Amino acid sequence: MSTTAMWLLLAVVVILIVFGSVLYKRTFTVHELALTGVMAALSLVAYLFFRVPFYGGSSFHLGNTFTALTALLLDGVSGGLAGAIGLALADILAGDPGYAITTFVLKFIIGITCGAVAHKGFKLKDLDPHSKGYLPKVIVAAGSGLLLNVVTDPFLGYFRNVYIFGQEYTLAKALSKIAGGVTFVNSVASTVCVVLLYLALRPALERAKLLTKGEKK
């Protein structure tokens, strides 16, 4: 990917996040904007250069890792936007623009779900990393949105195949089931990666004062 494309991706992330902050009265720091942009770029790179394609348009990749990771480190909106923009753009650059619309929706759902479980449910930012039950909560928060995607991906994929690609009903249904199997493998592998990265990055970012504790307003 060219340097121009990387800067374009970052600019789009910043514009959409600022627009979202106005709508939801959510304020973002410069560090949060930068981290979200980096995660969007990483999700794009993980998809474009480290994926194994399968029949029917599905593929094994770890792009979703950075969607969930951003949601755990920051919040659901940031995670959703990082994954939605990064992976939708990846679809376009990979020559699959028909997938970009459902990709945007699916990745945003992953981010919002992981963020809600992590910060609304478990108050993850307020927990001591050495406290009892911390690791299981990180695992559940990371896996919540990723495993939900096992259901939402084939479901939206079915409607995409029928109404966007114009495929026959039976073929679209079969391809959606195949995609669901690959999505499960993606989700499990991504959950493992998210947990390992989060456990390593959270204390490092907090020491560098790039993350703050406590629930976002």
Number of neighbouring beta carbons within 10 Å of residue 38? 16
pTM of the predicted model as reported, rounded to 2 decimal places: 0.82
pLDDT(1) > 50: no
Query: Under a CB-based contact definition with an 8 Å cutoff, are residues 155 and 109 in contact?
Result: no
Question: Is the dihedral angle over the CA atoms 123, 128, 129, 134 positive or is it negative?
Answer: negative
Q: Is 66 helix (H, G, I), strand (E, B) or coil?
A: helix
Q: CA 150, 34, 39: angle at the middle one, nearest 5?
A: 25
> pLDDT-based confidence at 49, cuts 50/70/90?
confident
Instruction: List, in order of start, the domains of the chain with CATH numbers.
Output: 3-15+33-207 (1.10.1760.20)
